[in-house]
């Protein structure tokens, strides 16, 4: 996770070279928010065992080959999108194509066995910049009634720099699931923060 955050910082320094607004989804939003080089470590032997198994290339390769099959990818996407019509063949291919690139298996192993990265509940108090949180009310990965969802639902009342909009009928990928709703919330928010 910290490597992704460093890539973002390098991109901002080398390419953007001016103030910017970072927009991320799910793990990407955490990478955008990291301000310190720290990790949350889970010291559960069971997780170590799964990590050990998945670090065995033969085992990881079998799992990866199954996950990246069109039908499996489509099923996974259908499970996280509220707007099922957004899950078309083009989306499946956009996600599937990089899985065939050289190094994709190594990336998969790194993602599923690497450290979990920062906990958003511990990270958010360190963020002082304006934050807009767009949350799909049908998100199966981070449901509103789960611990992280409850935290972010209450956060705007405790942190004046945070705004939250719940998007109805939207799953885990709001920007692709319902871009119209995302733009409806994001564009006015951007206008407000740039008017200062």
Asked if 171 and 86 touch (Cβ cutoff 8 Å), the reply is: no
Sign of CA dihedral 177, 181, 183, 185: negative
State pLDDT tens for residues 105-155: 888 878 777 776 777 888 888 888 888 899 999 998 888 998 889 999 999
Domains and CATH numbers, the chain: 2-41+116-194 (3.40.50.1820), 45-113 (no CATH)
Find, among 3, 26, 9, the residue nearest to 148 by Cα: 26
Give backbone dihedrals phi and psi of 45, rounded to 5 degrees, phi first. Answer: -55, -35
Cβ atoms within 10 A of the Cβ of 137, count?
15
SS3 category, 68:
coil
For the whole prediction, is pTM greater than 0.75?
Answer: no
């Amino acid at each position: 996770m910290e490597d992704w955050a460093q890539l973002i910082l390098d991109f901002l320094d080398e390419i953007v070279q001016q103030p910017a607004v970072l927009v991320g989804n799910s793990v990407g939003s955490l990478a955008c928010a990291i301000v310190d080089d720290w990790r949350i470590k889970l010291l559960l032997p069971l997780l170590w065992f799964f990590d050990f198994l998945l670090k065995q290339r033969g085992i990881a390769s079998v799992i990866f080959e199954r996950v990246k099959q069109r039908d499996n990818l489509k099923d996974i996407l259908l499970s996280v999108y509220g707007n099922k019509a957004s899950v078309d063949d083009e989306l499946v291919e956009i996600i599937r194509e990089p899985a065939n690139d050289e190094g994709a298996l190594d990336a998969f192993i790194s993602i599923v066995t690497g450290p979990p990265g920062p906990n958003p509940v511990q990270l958010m108090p360190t963020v002082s910049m304006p934050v807009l949180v767009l949350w799909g009310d049908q998100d199966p990965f981070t449901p509103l009634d789960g611990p992280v969802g409850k935290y972010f639902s209450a956060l705007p009342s405790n942190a004046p720099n945070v705004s939250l909009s719940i998007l109805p009928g939207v799953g885990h990928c709001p920007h692709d699931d319902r871009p119209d709703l995302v733009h409806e919330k994001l564009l006015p928010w951007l206008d407000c923060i740039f008017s200062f």
